[in-house]
Structure 1
Amino acid sequence: MNTISKLTIAGVLSLGLFTAQSCVQDDDYATPPIECNLPSPNISLADLVSKVTAGSIKLDANKAIAEDLIVQAYVISSDETGNFFKTISLQDKVENPTTGIQIEIDGSNLYNSYPLGAQVQINLKGLIVANDRGVMKIGSVDPQYTVGRIPSAVMSTYMIKTCEAIQTIKPKVVSSLTDALKPENLNTLVTIEGVQFSDPDGDKTYGVSGATVNRVIVDKKGKETDLRNSGYATWYADVLPKKSGSITVVVSRYNSTYQVFIRDTKDVKFDQPRFDVGGGQNPGGGNNTEAANLLFKGADFNVWADFLSSINSFGLVKDTYATSGVGVGRDNTNALLLKGTPKANDYVFTTIVNNTIPATPKKITFYVKGTSGKSLSLNVYKSDKKYVVYNVGDLSNANVSLSPTDANQYTGKIDTKGEWVLVTLNIEGVDIQKTAGENIFALKVGKDEAYDLVIDNIKID
């Protein structure tokens, strides 16, 4: 290939387009590689965004870029599964990016020309670069929109894939939604650890046919954001995972509201137990955090002595099936282990008031995991020293909310399918006991059936 020395940038770009389209990348090493002579980029993505924001780039009468500017970036989104539509997100580096941007293209199956991890060059002259509803975008001149879509027929005039080998994009890893949802992360790839779907039982699937919907994800501090899922995505009908873990997303925003997108359900790795959400639908700040709203001291069972000190004078059930479950609790901490066959309808324990009780509490919650041939029954004591009863009944791998009933019953079986299930006792309107030293809560089991349950995090809100 002849060396070109005295051509305009536009001329070099045109030649570059031809050679880029002639590039062959395969495993046939007998075929000599074709060199791609492309002009060097003359503006970084960070500088482009900065100058557009400051209004310091020369524009033409249509407010399009009037300078011969070339920017280079990496593809981090894909429309292969249908969750991205006529748009590509780009970031400036393979890892530790400083800037991201979105380019609007009126075409489909864009992943064939611009696959994930591809390096691309964009000739910006004649294109619009502007902030559109909170996100910096590149697109065409269209009087109807702030940033229009570049017609697919002329797309190769502006953006080409370079002959650099496809790169593996390394997401930025953060431990909370607060750290993820920042301006510097817009249109970049971010892995957020310690999150879960807020209501997988209610939402059921990632999406619904033919419409884009939100599925709320939440972190351990109660921070939430919307995961946007298209009803045209190939995986829209997949069942939402009920566990927690990490999710890799492209961070976006609509006006001032952040939202995130996945490329595929492979970006969702929820393989850990669900956690307690601080201030969210589940109370508390995580199992290994000493929460202010534990119903009694030791109600997280992390310190067995604290739990035993909270039991009334009758003590823990004399049979040996109720023990400290070391390392079997949520987040691999400790819990109450019920393993064996009770010989009577036992009070496993009754605890006393030794923690602060809210003035007008609405619910008591705890987590259960495992199996049993009979169910659980709970007593919540009132200020008159009488109690109201809550019977768990049949319990599978879905969270349950219980109202008071007349008498203790142990009918029903428990099988949570290896998952932690949240049990909520509705105590709104119950004049709950608040006097220190008086009984407040009891756990009961049925006789002559095997129990293999783990119970953790008994809290009040």
Structure 2
Amino acid sequence: MEQQNLFMIKINNKSLLFILATILFLGCDKQLPAIEALEGTQLSFAALKDSTKIGIYRFRTSVYVEAYVVSSDTSGHFFGKIVLQENDSDTALGLLVATDLFETSLWYPEGQKVRLYLKDLYVDQKTLGLSVGHVFSSFGNLAIGRLPILFTQEQLVPISGAFKSIGPKKRNLLNLSDNDLQTLVKIDSLIIGPESSGLYFANEKEETIRVFYAPDGQKININNSGYADFWDSPLPDKWVSIKGVLSKVRSKYELEIRYLSDIQN
């Protein structure tokens, strides 16, 4: 009987969380601003990047950029992160918006065109690429931090009816560049390293790096979340193509896939 009661409590708690999340979603949806009601001047991604030449830059005027969502948290990856890419050209730039918003794919599904209003936001370009958000101080240094939920919805506005499937840039491990950071790329002919053969994509509840190798011995890290739906899926044991968002940690490039189908034999 105690086990049955405990089971019912768990079910009720999950149901309560679902109901609260639904109420929050519906309530906030009415507060999303209309594109027509907001004004400003459009910036190119190149101009956005140029603004970071001397460090963190704060926008004080009504300007915005338009881009497409290329990330997705539907499989548990990209938690609290929205990655935007300006278009599907081979020279497209991208940027990262970190947010406190949960279930970002409900608000900003992959392929959705959005307008990011930059007034009173900060932009910086460090190791991981362009990043936009609020600013905080860490050990005396300024850094870009997460946007609160309501700020995210006010500053990042979906453009109604505007969707586009953004294809990846085709790259190899020798021609990756910092211009590809926070964009969708695809790398062919990769195989898991012998040190990870037979393992899962990630350790449970841990951020886990798996190393893949090219035929010439070059390697790249694949960053996997231990909270992703596929964390306990076996790593592929054959040569594969991997599609994902490119990032960089301590001078080393990393790929983060969105779901298992980003890896193809």
Normalised-by-shorter TM-score class: 0.7 to 0.9
Letter in structure 2 aligned against 1:70: Y
1:344 matched to which residue of 2?
none
Establish whether residue 189 from structure 1 lines up as the match of residue 204 from structure 2: no
1:126 matched to which residue of 2?
120
- Give the greater-gyration-radius structure (CA): 1
CA–CA distance in structure 2, aligned partners of residues 104 and 229 of structure 1: 18
CA–CA distance in structure 2, aligned partners of residues 182 and 203 of structure 1: 31
2:97 matched to which residue of 1?
103
Pick closer, same or farther for the CA change 1:117–1:233 going to 2, 3 Å: same
| 1:10-32 Cα shifts (integer Å, max 9, x gaps) | xxxxxx95335xxxxxxxxxxxx
Pick closer, same or farther for the CA change 1:68–1:39 going to 2, 3 Å: closer
Establish whether residue 160 from structure 1 lines up as the match of residue 154 from structure 2: no
CA–CA distance in structure 2, aligned partners of residues 220 and 241 of structure 1: 16
1:18 matched to which residue of 2?
33
Pick closer, same or farther for the CA change 1:41–1:241 going to 2, 3 Å: farther
Q: Which structure features the higher share of helix residues?
A: 2
Equivalent position to 1:265, from 253, 260, 265: 260
CA contact (8 A) 1:132 1:147 kept: no
1:177 matched to which residue of 2?
173
CA contact (8 A) 1:46 1:98 kept: no
Segments of structure 1 that go 5 or more residues without pairing to the other structure are 1-15, 21-35, 271-461
Equivalent position to 2:59, from 53, 65, 81: 65
CA–CA distance in structure 1, aligned partners of residues 213 and 41 of structure 2: 40
1:274 matched to which residue of 2?
none
2:212 matched to which residue of 1?
217
| 1:220-260 Cα shifts (integer Å, max 9, x gaps) | 11110110000000000001111112110111011322111
What percentage of aligned pairs have identical amino acids? 28
1:386-405 map, 5 Å = none
1:42 matched to which residue of 2?
42
Q: How many residues align?
A: 232
Deviation, structure 1 residue 104: 1.1
2:135 matched to which residue of 1?
141
CA–CA distance in structure 2, aligned partners of residues 154 and 228 of structure 1: 28
CA contact (8 A) 2:73 2:258 kept: yes
CA contact (8 A) 1:200 1:242 kept: no
Segments of structure 2 that go 5 or more residues without pairing to the other structure are 1-30
CA contact (8 A) 2:40 2:63 kept: no
Establish whether residue 228 from structure 1 lines up as the match of residue 223 from structure 2: yes
Letter in structure 2 aligned against 1:222: G
2:19 matched to which residue of 1?
none
- TM-score when normalising by structure 1: 0.47
Q: Which has the higher contact order (CA 8 A, sep 6+)?
A: 2
Deviation, structure 1 residue 52: 1.8
| 1:156-177 Cα shifts (integer Å, max 9, x gaps) | 2211111143211111113x21
Pick closer, same or farther for the CA change 1:151–1:77 going to 2, 3 Å: same
Pick closer, same or farther for the CA change 1:203–1:229 going to 2, 3 Å: farther
Deviation, structure 1 residue 132: 3.9
Poorly superposed stretches of 4+, deviation over 6 Å: none
Deviation, structure 1 residue 218: 0.9
Aligned CA RMSD, in angstroms, stands at 2.2
For the residue of structure 2 that corresponds to 1:140, the secondary structure is: strand
CA contact (8 A) 1:203 1:215 kept: no
CA contact (8 A) 1:130 1:136 kept: yes
CA contact (8 A) 1:64 1:141 kept: no
CA–CA distance in structure 1, aligned partners of residues 79 and 261 of structure 2: 19
| 1:386-437 Cα shifts (integer Å, max 9, x gaps) | xxxxxxxxxxxxxxxxxxxxxxxxxxxxxxxxxxxxxxxxxxxxxxxxxxxx
CA contact (8 A) 1:17 1:156 kept: yes
For the residue of structure 1 that corresponds to 2:132, the secondary structure is: strand
Letter in structure 1 aligned against 2:258: R
Deviation, structure 1 residue 78: 0.9
CA–CA distance in structure 2, aligned partners of residues 211 and 256 of structure 1: 22
